[in-house]
């Protein structure tokens, strides 16, 4: 199974900050990496698919990059509605696996 | 508008069974792979099972193989998860997720989730 490791597990940031979350796969997954946002009590929402493609309706302040084993989600200018948990997920092979999540909290 | 509405969750005793349903609307259901994803209380996301468009291909996470069965009824735009031999470790919110048509998996629409609690 492919293990997905996210870091940090949590971070505190202020509105307007640039935030970077990393995700590392235990083996190469090419660009088969998706990112989701989840707010408390809500279903996850797809932000980025295949590493760098912005899902429709997602603000352009979100971006993704990486290939192979190392990936990054960047929020260029944090907004109040971005305080949430973020998960990466590999779609290279089953079992499909998620990272442990990163909780972005208000500083 | 895409809608996925799960039902069938509840409290069940260890060793018991439960059948989850997901009613889909607003898209061509029989064109998409579909998946179930769960989230234990206070924990992260875990993919559970996946099924292709005509139900002929199914994949499961190891922890549910032999106990859970994913199925679909395209005529009724419905996805199902039959869960048997439930344990406390299966306690979670279960989400129905729209998967892909072709190419790589991504879950671009999700239901609101249904809570399954396994406890005596």
Reported as a single tens digit per residue, the pLDDT across B8-65 is: 999 999 999 999 999 999 999 999 999 999 999 999 999 999 999 999 999 999 999 9
Question: How many CA atoms, within 13 angstroms, populate the side-chain half-sphere of residue B107?
Answer: 33
Is B114 part of the contact surface with chain A (CB cutoff 8 Å)?
A: no
State whether residue A82 is helix, strand or coil: helix
Average pLDDT estimate for A27-56: 97
Higher pLDDT, B60 or B103: B60
Chain A's closest residue to B35, CA to CA, is A96
At residue B103, the pLDDT reads 82
pLDDT at A17: 97
What CA–CA distance (Å, rounded) separates A91 from A49?
10
- The number of residues in chain A equals 107
Q: What is the pLDDT of residue B104?
A: 87
Q: What is the DSSP string of B31-97?
A: GS-EEEEEE-TTS-EEEEEEE-TTS--EEE-GGGTTTEEEEEEGGGTEEEEEE-S--GGG-EEEEEE
Number of inter-chain CB pairs under 8 A, A vs B? 58
Give the confidence band of A67 by pLDDT, cuts at 50, 70, 90. very high
Q: Supply A4's token pair.
A: 């997905």
What is the structure's pLDDT at A61?
98
A67 touches chain B (CB under 8 A): no
Q: Are the Cβ atoms of A55 and B113 closer than 8 angstroms?
A: no
What is the mean predicted confidence (pLDDT) over A5-28?
98
Whether the CB of B27 is below 8 Å from some CB of chain A: the reply is no
* 8 A C-beta contact, residue A50 and residue A2: no
- A31: tokens are 């660009």
Residues of B in contact with A9 (CB under 8 A): none
**CA B12 – CA B93 distance, rounded (Å):** 14
Q: Chain A 26-65, CB below 8 Å of chain B: which residues? A: 32, 34, 36, 38, 43-46, 49-50, 55
Backbone angles phi, psi at B59, to 5 degrees: -130, 150
């Amino acid at each position: 199974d492919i293990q997905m490791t996210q870091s940090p597990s949590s971070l505190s940031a202020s509105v307007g900050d640039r935030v970077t979350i990393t995700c590392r796969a235990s083996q190469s997954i090419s660009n088969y990496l998706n990112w989701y946002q989840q707010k408390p009590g809500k279903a996850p929402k797809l932000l980025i698919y295949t590493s760098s493609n912005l899902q429709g309706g997602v603000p352009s302040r979100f971006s993704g990059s990486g290939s192979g084993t190392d990936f990054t989600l960047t929020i260029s200018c944090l907004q109040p509605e971005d305080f949430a948990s973020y998960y990466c997920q590999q779609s290279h092979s089953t079992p499909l696996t998620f990272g442990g999540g990163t909780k972005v909290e208000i500083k | 508008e895409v809608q996925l509405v799960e039902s069938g969750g509840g409290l069940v005793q260890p060793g018991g069974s439960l059948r989850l349903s997901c009613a889909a609307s607003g898209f061509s259901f029989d064109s998409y792979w579909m998946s179930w994803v769960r989230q234990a209380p206070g924990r992260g996301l875990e993919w559970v099972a996946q099924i292709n468009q005509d139900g002929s291909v199914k994949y499961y996470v190891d922890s549910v193989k032999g106990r859970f069965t994913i199925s679909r009824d395209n005529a009724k735009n419905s996805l199902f998860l039959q869960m048997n031999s439930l344990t406390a470790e299966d306690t979670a919110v279960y989400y129905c997720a729209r998967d892909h048509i072709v190419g790589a998996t991504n879950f671009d629409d999700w239901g609101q989730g249904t809570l399954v609690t396994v406890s005596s």
